[in-house]
């Protein structure tokens, strides 16, 4: 069976892409911080707790990520009033410590 140059190039590119994906790995870990908080705490209080622990760049969101909005912490409407948003069990936003962005999770 004969293949044209463009077909061979496409096949080679696919093989290279598969090898690159295998070399880099499919599963990656995301740095996280887990904070235990009282059930009545607001996200503003959670942010203060994180600041006290040396975190900066704290951005907490009113909603959890979803397929429709994978980064709600980038939406100004979702981060507008942390003093009135209760802390949720699970993901609440992101913060920075030692130059590394971490995902902020809360538990009760």
Any idea where the domains of the chain sit in the sequence? 32-107
Burial class of residue 80 (count of CB atoms within 10 Å of its CB; 0-12, 13-18, 19+): exposed
Of the ranges 10-14, 71-75, 95-99, which one carries the lowest mean pLDDT score?
A: 10-14
How far apart CA 46 and CA 87 sit, in angstroms, is: 7
pLDDT tens, 12-54? 444 443 343 344 455 667 899 999 888 779 999 999 999 999 9
Given a contact cutoff of 8 angstroms between Cβ atoms, the answer to whether 33 and 50 are in contact is: yes
Whole-model pTM: value is 0.71
How far apart CA 6 and CA 10 sit, in angstroms, is: 6
Does the pLDDT at position 79 exceed 50?
Answer: yes
pLDDT value for 26: 57
């Amino acid at each position: 069976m004969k293949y044209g140059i463009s077909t061979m190039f496409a096949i080679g590119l696919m093989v290279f892409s598969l090898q690159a994906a295998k070399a880099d790995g499919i599963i990656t870990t995301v740095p996280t911080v887990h904070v235990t908080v009282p059930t009545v705490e607001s996200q503003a209080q959670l942010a203060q707790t994180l600041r006290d622990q040396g975190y900066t760049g704290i951005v907490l969101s009113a909603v959890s990520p979803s397929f429709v909005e994978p980064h709600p912490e980038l939406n100004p409407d979702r981060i507008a009033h942390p003093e009135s948003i209760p802390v949720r069990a699970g993901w609440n936003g992101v913060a920075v410590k030692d130059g590394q962005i971490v995902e902020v999770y809360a538990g009760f």
